[in-house]
Amino acid sequence: MTQDLIILIVEIAAAVGAAGGLGYWFTRKPKTPPAAPEPPPSLNRTLRSTRDSFWGKIQRSLSGSIDTNQLEIIEEILYTSDLGPTTVAKLLDSVEDQLSRQDKKSLDMLKTSLKGEVNSILTAVPKMGQSPFLNFESSAKPQVWMIVGVNGVGKTTTIGKLAHVAASKGAKVLVAAGDTFRAAAQSQLRAWSERAQVEIFAPEGVKDPGAVAFDAVQMAKARNYDLVLIDTAGRLHTQDNLMEELKKVKRVIQKLDPQAPHETLIVLDANSGQNALVQAQKFHETLKLSGAIFTKMDGTAKGGVVLGLASQLQLPTVFLGVGESMDALTGFSPQEYTEALFEA
Ligand code: GDP
């Protein structure tokens, strides 16, 4: 389809949609600007349970000065704290090395040494904590973000939150309903787009996610959108089917813009701990992810998984989901995270 034809169809759909006829296909953006987001809860509060199961547990298990026996206790706690064996080995090596140089080893020394290692694991990852929104205004339009992840992790909710943040920064946002596999996905995404007051591209009856993504990006180029958020399927008949489909979506978008997708972000449920790392690895192998968004950080004791992801896959975490509301998304800061893991 030529670009002119697409524009014509979009204009007609928008006009008819405004009159109620095709509202299901193309939701027109309301005139009133969206409200600025409410500040999310502090990371320190969000990570309370994680802190308690990590540093809190270490503190409670040790007393006085630290000897070799107690290092075994630390090792045990670390291995049960969802960091993953690679990360635990790095932390232990560093702690043992630093403490071996001290005659009298205290809890404070242990804390300083663990904090230092956590911080260096995180900051060694390029773009760690750097919000993709940072380069947003100066970047080529439209920025295309492909959002991937298995069903139930909070992908739809996160797309709604991202759309809301971008719209409240003044961006013209288009959400593309690329999960054509799940019947409920489109209506759920529509509800979130309405809440975030952004437009959605969800052609009824189109089963090919590549076609949805292609048409959405083409429309966004023609109509000068700033950001396209592409939702994708999270479960097909087999893992291989899913990966093939996602690869195809990526290829198809690249026909319109070889730089796209500018971000390929995986949404992971922090509660799934080590399983989240397995998911990230699979998607990374196929799609070369640019970063991760951990949801449900509120209330979980498994927030250490952020560190595991950095250490095992060298993938940056860019946002954290900290609740169910539209405003409950926060940028990730390695320093803030490190502080929150250790300090109440
Ligand atoms: P999807 O299947 O991956 O699209 O998942 P949904 O977006 O439908 O979310 C699944 C459930 O997780 C819903 O009940 C959401 O409200 C909830 N959820 C999503 N993100 C968060 C979060 O950051 N914190 C909490 N507490 N719940 C969340």
Q: How far is CA 95 from CA 71, 151, 157, 309, in A?
A: 9, 38, 39, 20
* Residue 238 confidence (pLDDT): 83
Question: For 206, what's the count of Cα atoms within 13 Å in the CB-facing half-sphere?
Answer: 19
Is-contact 114 342, C-beta < 8 A?
A: yes
Percent of the chain with pLDDT over 90: 67
* Residue 279 confidence (pLDDT): 96
Mean pLDDT of 28-57: 78
Distance (angstroms) between ligand 1 centre and the Cα of 152 equals: 7
Q: How confident is the model at residue 52 (pLDDT cuts 50, 70, 90)?
A: very high
Distance (angstroms) between ligand 1 centre and the Cα of 56 equals: 28
Which atom of ligand 1 is the closest one to the Cα of 192? 7
Order of strands across the sheet that contains 199-201: 199-201, 173-176, 227-231, 143-148, 263-269, 291-295, 317-321, 329-331
Regarding the beta carbon of 327 and ligand 1, being less than 6 Å apart is answered no
* Residue 27 confidence (pLDDT): 44
pLDDT tens column, 183-240: 899 999 999 999 999 999 999 999 999 999 999 999 999 999 999 999 999 987 788 9
Q: Which of 24-33, 225-234, 258-267 is least confident? A: 24-33
Is 199 in a helix, a strand, or coil?
strand
Q: For the purposes of burial, counting CB atoms within 10 Å of the CB of 119, is it exposed (0-12), middle (13-18) or buried (19 or more)?
A: middle
Alpha helix stretches (DSSP H) within the chain:
3-18, 43-46, 48-51, 57-61, 68-79, 85-100, 107-123, 155-168, 183-196, 209-222, 239-256, 274-287, 305-313, 334-342
* Residue 9 confidence (pLDDT): 54
Is-contact 299 269, C-beta < 8 A?
A: no
Q: How confident is the model at residue 63 (pLDDT cuts 50, 70, 90)?
A: confident
On the question of pLDDT at 24 being above 50, the answer is: no
* Residue 34 confidence (pLDDT): 60
* Residue 37 confidence (pLDDT): 61
Which atom of ligand 1 is the closest one to the Cα of 299? 26
Q: How confident is the model at residue 336 (pLDDT cuts 50, 70, 90)?
A: very high
* Residue 242 confidence (pLDDT): 94
Mean pLDDT of 278-304: 95
| Amino acid, res. 219 | M
* Residue 66 confidence (pLDDT): 79
Kind and range of the H or E run holding 320: strand 317-321
pLDDT tens column, 307-327: 999 999 999 999 999 999 999
The residue written with tokens 């320190």 in the block is 44
> Which residues fall within 8 angstroms of residue 50, CB to CB, at 6 or more apart?
297, 300, 301, 302, 303, 304, 341
* Residue 36 confidence (pLDDT): 63
Q: Which of 34-48, 90-104, 115-129, 199-213 is least confident? A: 34-48
Regarding the beta carbon of 323 and ligand 1, being less than 6 Å apart is answered yes
Report d(CA 169, CA 136) in Å as an integer.
10
On the question of pLDDT at 51 being above 50, the answer is: yes
- In this structure, the number of other CB atoms found within 10 A of the CB of residue 325 comes to 15
Is-contact 38 211, C-beta < 8 A?
A: no
On the question of pLDDT at 92 being above 50, the answer is: yes
Distance (angstroms) between ligand 1 centre and the Cα of 269 equals: 9
Regarding the beta carbon of 322 and ligand 1, being less than 6 Å apart is answered yes
Residue positions counted in the chain: 344
Higher pLDDT, 138 or 256: 256
Is-contact 185 179, C-beta < 8 A?
A: yes
Mean pLDDT of the chain: 88
Give the tokens for residue 324: 């169910």
On the question of pLDDT at 259 being above 90, the answer is: yes
On the question of pLDDT at 1 being above 60, the answer is: no
Q: Which of 58-62, 117-121, 268-272, 292-296 is least confident? A: 58-62
* Residue 15 confidence (pLDDT): 44
Residue having the nearest C-alpha atom to atom 20 of ligand 1: 154
Ligand 1 pocket: which of 324, 325, 329 to mutate (most atoms <8 Å of CB)?
Answer: 324
Distance (angstroms) between ligand 1 centre and the Cα of 153 equals: 6
Regarding the beta carbon of 303 and ligand 1, being less than 6 Å apart is answered no
Regarding the beta carbon of 46 and ligand 1, being less than 6 Å apart is answered no
